[in-house]
Amino acid sequence: MCTTITMYIVSLCQFIAASDTSIKWDVKTKSVIYGKETSLTCNGQTCSPHSSKQWIGGPSYDLLCSEDYTANRNKYEMVVQSTSFYFDLMIKNFTFDDANCKYTCVCGLHQYTKMLELDSLEFIYPPYLEKDDIVTKESKVQVDILMQVFPLPTCVISYQESVMPLNISDYATTYEHGDYFKIFEVRIYQIYEIDHLSCKGSLNLSCTVGSHHYIPIETTINFCTEDKNDLKSIAVVVGIAVLCLSGFGIIAYGICKFVIRKFQHSIKEIPDVGDYNMTESTANANEEMEPIRCSTDRIDIGVTDNETHSLFQVDDNG
């Protein structure tokens, strides 16, 4: 008789604990993001302050955490808030195996059990690139991207801060964790004509997935031709040569030196003219300086009518 009464009392206690709604857990984070941390929070307001606290659940529905125990520190962590009655279960590196299974929070004799269903949450699977081919030819850029993502994203491609039109040309669905949840496989294929923009700049693919923003691709493209660079180099060299040969003495030399120094960092073909120390006296400068491209030697030639004209001597190097 006592055994029967004892079994009845135990069964009644288990029934009361199973149907207890005085505590309740819910998802603490606004979004559940694949591969990130997700927290479940339990309201233990009706529990005694010194009651033991536990979390049970997961794929195998085992004891995950208690006050002095953690089944897997790399996966689970219990956080007890000292300023409130709440205590949390942190699930690290959230995957599909952590979803669509039961979780129970226990506080003393109280407990609450519920399924963690992804369909009822804002679940985000961040863009995962399977293919990201970007090919440049002349003034065209070909973009061929294949990525897995959930939910369907809204994406734009920008080049040098100019937003270019983009259409998701094709997508299919793949299934993970059985048939519980589906992920979209999205393909983006487009060709852009950007001859009206600079031939070098930053190309970015940015996507809004749910309430989060991602930049799956951030790269620099350069389709500048060598011919254009060669023409620029030739133009600079010719300009310097004309200026030097025009014969403006010390002023011409100073301009030549400044222009050459200005461009020698970006144009490797221009030789260094050397560092010369200009003195206050032209005579001293002639004695101290080595031969340079632009001669500053002044020659006074006496001519008829007692007039003196100034010419500039050009050395052997022109």
**Domains of the chain and CATH, by start:** 2-120 (2.60.40.10), 127-222 (2.60.40.10), 227-312 (no CATH)
pLDDT digits (tens, 9 = 90+) for 63-104: 999 988 999 999 999 998 777 788 999 999 999 999 999 999
Residue 202 DSSP SS3:
strand
In degrees, to the nearest 5, what angle opens at C-alpha 130 toward C-alphas 124 and 136?
A: 120
> Which residue, 171, 187, 148, is CA-closest to 34?
148
Cis peptide bond prior to 153, omega within 30° of 0: no
CA atoms of 294 and 286, how far apart (whole Å): 12
pLDDT digits (tens, 9 = 90+) for 224-267: 775 444 555 555 555 665 555 555 545 555 665 665 565 554 44
End-to-end CA distance of the chain: 125
pLDDT digits (tens, 9 = 90+) for 256-301: 566 556 555 444 444 444 443 433 433 443 444 444 343 434 434 3
Q: How long is the chain?
A: 318
pTM score, whole prediction: 0.63
Measured CA distances, 168 to 64, 82, 146, 155, 224 (Å): 42, 49, 10, 8, 29
CA atoms of 269 and 199, how far apart (whole Å): 22
Q: Which residues contact 165 (CB under 8 A, 6 or more apart)?
A: none
